[in-house]
Chain A
Amino acid sequence: MKNPYLPIPMVVKKACIETTDRMLRTVELAFLSEEDGQSFRFIPGQFCELSIFGKGEAPFGIASSPTEKGSLKFTINKAGVVTTALHHIEEGAEIGIRGPLGNGYPIDLFEGKNVLVIGGGFAFTTLRSLIVYLSHPKNRSKVGDITVIYGARLPGLLLYKEELLEWEKRNDLKLILTVDQGDEVWKGKVGLVPNVLEEAAPSSENTYAVICGPPIMVKFTFPKLMALRFPNERIFTSLERRMKCGIGKCGRCNVGHLYVCKDGPVFSYAQLEKLPKDY
């Protein structure tokens, strides 16, 4: 029987610092065994436990899209022991991963619908996965309009800057970037994500909203979506909790009777409303 605690060996293919504060680093991992690579199937919104022997494990949303074959990307905020190690790890080094874990975004539901993606700060990772996935030539026709609102505190803190530039050029994707505080070269919007959302006022008709960001942003975005008449069942968000096992055994990440690692991390607002406010 498969041991769900055994990490799959991968190797760091590429790594780069994303932001001017140097707190966010994206690592691209390749499978050491081809077999592992082939059997690893995931959907946007799922996560993995990254494992560095001697330091431990920590959960990270998968930032790459299932359409980007052969490797996995993760963007890591430097905070604790494992994330610091992940910031120091060199290209070519081995790393373990366990996953894919969790449920992911309900991409089947999105078929034939418009998708509104709202992101803030470094929680944009799994949203990148979603956007790349949906806008892939193979999938683009399956959904209607794609609108992306993405904000960060400062222009330098936006993730995936080169890709953002490319997305801006696309005509099948509407991208609105905003920062809390601009600088001399910033040409985009200045303002908080909930306010920018209110101003952009995307139609809720036939549309699903996906939000991921710091708790405070999510908290203030929900009412704005309500005002735009998004029904609860069509708003999805990804929760973050302290996790260890990632498979619903170790306790700790539950919200009510549901486990963020196993039953989430993606929940609809309708689900969250029924759960205790324990997050």
Chain B
Amino acid sequence: MKLKLDKNELKPFLQSLIEDYDVYAPVELKEGVSIYKKIDQPEEINLNLLNPQKPVKEVFFPQSEVMLRYERAGKRSQVALMEEVVRERVIFGARPCDIQAISVIDEVFLGKDYTDVYFLHKRKASTIIGIACNHPLSTCFCSSTGGDPFSRKGSDLFFIDLGEAYIAELLTEKGMAFRENRFFKEASSEDLTLAQQIEEKASKKTDASLPIDGIEKRLDQMMESPFWDRIHEKCIGCGICTLLCPTCHCFDIMDEDLAGKGQRVRNWDSCLSTLYSQETSGHNPRPTGRERTRQRLMHKFNYFLKNFGRIACVGCGRCILYCPVNFDIRQVIKEIQKAGDS
């Protein structure tokens, strides 16, 4: 179902959402720096950056999350699990790539053997309002990774910016709950034609040419390739690309303790960190940047595909934009093709 929301109705619409839900949306922390955050007022939202630095996964899988609290009394401990989500959530303003990425993490966290209840509860409690990318950046390559700037996949509602108004497409059951929303009105056929035109124009803009088809097979042959000796050279091993990646989902579990009371917390971790795979004995199966860079790329383009039938990259371009040394994953994908074909 396709409806329309006038932009001058956006604030009241968001206000009404805030009354009924915990609303998460991009918020600017400093000029050019934003994250997804729970908002108290519609004015906090800032959609200037196509994608905030930190991806929307944070709403479902916070960088730092308390798993349980404990308190010791004598020889016994009281434990309280922290998995409940108290209030239903709406995520407003996420881009198609980020939303795709959530379904990548679904594969792991909602896996058949064990279910990560922390992620699951947040996932279930959330309604996602995606926004189409009318002006994708030159670093965007979602069209190469199975998405596109107007991909509706994973959105419950999908907004298309027409300038003065949004087209609001209600896509799922959760989305259809907004059918009677008082701020939505019927979209005219002109509106829909305009939306169509914007979509066609935008979809041509992202790079669809990256050689990702067959990358798994190429990488199968490349585990011990000298390719890795060179590719990691300029990487300084900071975790920016992994921490800002919408699909990366590695974490570490730590106890924070103060005199018998405390909490078990999980924090995002990065395969580019030396300590990530270092064993207590000091042995490290991935001792240098070569193995760690290989792990990052193999996981995204080979292992993940083997396990779940899809790659773990959605082409958002964050790792390209924020890398301090301009390590460009697009270039690496192309070089994998070259190395694999030679």
Contact = CB atoms under 8 A, between A and B. Distances in A.
B279 A278 contact: no
A92 B76 CA distance: 10
Interface stretch (B77-85, B147-155, B171-179, B194-202): B77-85
A87 to B, nearest CB: 13
B126 to A, nearest CB: 17
A278 B285 contact: yes
A252 B277 contact: yes
A32 B277 CA distance: 33
B280 A56 contact: no
A83 to B, nearest CB: 7
A223 interface: no
A169 interface: no
A220 B269 CA distance: 34
A244 B111 CA distance: 17
A9 B77 contact: yes
B269 A254 contact: no
Contact of A278 (B72, B77, B291): B291
Contacts, number: 129
B271 interface: yes
A53 B109 CA distance: 24
Given A6-B68, A254-B295, A254-B303, 17 more contacts: A1-B117, A2-B117, A11-B75, A53-B262, A53-B264, A93-B75, A94-B75, A94-B76, A242-B277, A244-B251, A248-B111, A249-B116, A251-B250, A252-B271, A262-B113, A278-B286, A278-B295
Return the 10 tightest CB-CB contacts between A and B, nearest first.
A251-B250, A54-B257, A257-B303, A80-B280, A257-B306, A247-B114, A79-B280, A276-B223, A53-B70, A4-B114
Interface of B: 67-68, 70, 72, 75-77, 79, 81, 83, 108-109, 111, 113-118, 120, 223-224, 249-255, 257, 260, 262, 264, 266, 269, 271, 276-281, 283, 285-286, 291, 295, 298-299, 302-304, 306-307
Interface of A: 1-7, 9, 11, 53-58, 79-80, 83, 92-94, 96, 215, 240-242, 244-245, 247-257, 262, 276-279
